[in-house]
């Protein structure tokens, strides 16, 4: 058994495998002198729409997943005075985008088995000011879009899907991002489809929304130097579009690898006392952006056992990460909203108990066995 460190993720392996295909394309783009917009960006948008099923789906690329969410909310007309419901357990951008358009986030608790928003709790958070729901597909797992859409339709609410972590995941056999009014994607380097820098995209079947996003991402320009809105400068660089177009054909295979890795962890970690494995809800699947276990302590928000496990893994050269140590409703910036500890207990429990293990397509079975053995030994040696 080797004692080589095991990283949470190693992007250099993917680069090395693709370098021979990637570099001539990057060089051709650099030689073209066309660095903003143009054919490379158009082509990626087309390929991305096809990846998600094609048809009347339109992709509008932009600078990041955060911008994708902001552009989606702006295109839907969300404004100050409006409320937007989202999960209390996600990366900050899922809520930040709501504030960036001047609206107020309203947080809903999660199902601690899947880490996704619990649709049973959604309806009671709807007020006369609610205009939209941002449904996040966390850690790669599709949220229950059937229930979320049914509630949204009953109350006339728009649905934005935050698919930053779940490119290629499906609910009911249909890709996430194609269920709601708009799907938002991130191509941050560590995502399942990652650029060599920032990138993002919005997808929609509504041509009016697509047109509005295109205008908003380009300074609100309707014709050249004719501005009808205050917009953003939010472009996907042509260089990133080239890189993403080279990588996209591999994404399904990478996602299958992640699914095989998750199955491997399930098998290797099953039955270890005091460890809770992630579950996938019936009706959907996961592309395992993260493989996240829970390590409960002596009470629901006691993080000491989890933190000890992480420290001990680190001592053995095994990386792990806490995504996310503080739920959104308890972030310092949201004190203004008046939430208190205990308000959204499952999100708080997740924040105290979660630990994401190394998970990336190139991770080997031997490395997984080392991770699993280390976890079993560390938990067996607990004081």
Euclidean distance between CA atoms 134 and 125, whole angstroms: 13
With respect to ligand PLP, which residue has the nearer C-beta, 143 or 313? 143
- Pairing state of beta strands 354-357 and 291-294? antiparallel
Q: At closest approach, how far in Å is the CB of 190 from ligand PLP?
A: 8
Dihedral angle at the C-alpha atoms of 234, 240, 241, 242, nearest 10 degrees? 160
Please identify, using beta-carbon distances, which residue of 199 and 264 lies nearer to ligand PLP.
Answer: 199
* Residue 164 or 355 with smaller CB distance to ligand PLP: 164
**Closest CB to ligand PLP belongs to which residue?**
65
Pick between residue 179 and residue 188 the one whose CB is nearest to ligand PLP: 188
Q: Which is nearer to ligand PLP, 356 or 367 (CB)?
A: 356
Give the shortest CB-145-to-ligand PLP separation in angstroms: 16
Q: What is the DSSP string of 103-148?
A: -EEEEE-B-TTT-SB-GGGTGGG--TTEEEEEEE-GGGBPP-HHHH
Measured from the CB of residue 32, what is the shortest distance to ligand PLP in angstroms? Answer: 26
Q: Minimal distance in Å, beta carbon 199 to ligand PLP?
A: 7
State the minimum distance, in angstroms, from the CB of residue 300 to ligand PLP: 23
Which CB atom, from 87 or from 285, has the smaller least distance to ligand PLP?
Answer: 87
Question: Is the distance from CB of 295 to CB of 351 less than 8 angstroms?
Answer: no
Residue 63 in tokens: 């600078």
Cis peptide before 324 (omega within 30 of 0): yes
**Pairing label, strands 200-204, 58-62:** antiparallel
Q: How far is CA 111 from CA 39, 213, 346, in A?
A: 43, 32, 7
Residues of this chain that bind ligand PLP (CB under 6 A) = 64-66, 90-91, 93-94, 136, 162, 164-165, 186, 188, 198, 200
**Residue 30 Cβ vs ligand PLP, minimum distance, rounded to whole Å:** 24
Compute and round to an integer the Cα radius of gyration of the chain. Answer: 21
């Amino acid at each position: 058994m080797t004692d080589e460190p095991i990283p949470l993720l190693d992007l250099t392996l993917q680069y090395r495998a693709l370098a021979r295909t990637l570099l001539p394309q990057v060089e051709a783009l650099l030689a073209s002198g066309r660095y903003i917009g143009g054919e490379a960006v158009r082509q990626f948008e087309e390929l991305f729409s096809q990846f998600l099923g094609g048809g009347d789906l339109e992709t509008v690329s932009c600078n990041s997943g955060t911008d994708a969410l902001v552009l989606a909310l702006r295109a839907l007309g969300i404004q100050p005075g409006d409320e937007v419901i989202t999960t209390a357990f996600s990366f900050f951008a899922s809520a930040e985008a709501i504030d960036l358009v001047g609206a107020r986030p309203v947080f809903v608790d999660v199902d601690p088995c899947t880490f996704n928003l619990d649709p049973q709790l959604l309806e009671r958070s709807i007020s006369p000011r609610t205009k939209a729901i941002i449904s996040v597909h966390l850690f790669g797992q599709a949220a229950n879009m059937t229930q979320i859409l049914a509630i949204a339709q009953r109350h006339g609410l728009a649905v934005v899907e935050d698919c930053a972590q779940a490119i290629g995941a499906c609910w009911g056999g249909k890709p996430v991002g194609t269920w709601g009014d708009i799907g938002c994607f991130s191509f941050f380097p560590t995502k399942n489809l990652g650029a060599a820098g920032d990138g993002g995209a919005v997808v929609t079947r509504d041509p009016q929304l697509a047109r509005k996003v295109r205008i908003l991402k380009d300074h609100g320009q309707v014709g050249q130097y004719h501005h009808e809105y205050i917009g953003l400068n939010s472009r996907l660089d042509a260089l990133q579009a080239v890189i993403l177009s080279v990588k996209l054909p591999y994404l399904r295979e990478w996602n299958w690898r992640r699914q095989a890795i998750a199955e491997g962890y399930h098998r290797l970690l099953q039955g270890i006392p005091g460890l809770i494995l992630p579950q996938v809800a019936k009706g959907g699947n996961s592309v395992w952006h993260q493989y996240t276990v829970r390590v409960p302590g002596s009470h629901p928000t006691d993080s000491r056992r989890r933190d000890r496990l992480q420290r001990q893994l680190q001592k053995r050269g095994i990386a792990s990460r806490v995504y996310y140590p503080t739920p959104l409703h308890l972030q310092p910036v949201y004190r203004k909203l008046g939430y208190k500890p205990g308000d959204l207990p499952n999100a708080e429990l997740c924040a105290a108990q979660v630990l994401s293990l190394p998970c990336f397509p190139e991770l080997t079975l031997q490395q997984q066995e080392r991770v699993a053995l280390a976890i079993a030994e560390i938990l067996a040696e607990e004081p």
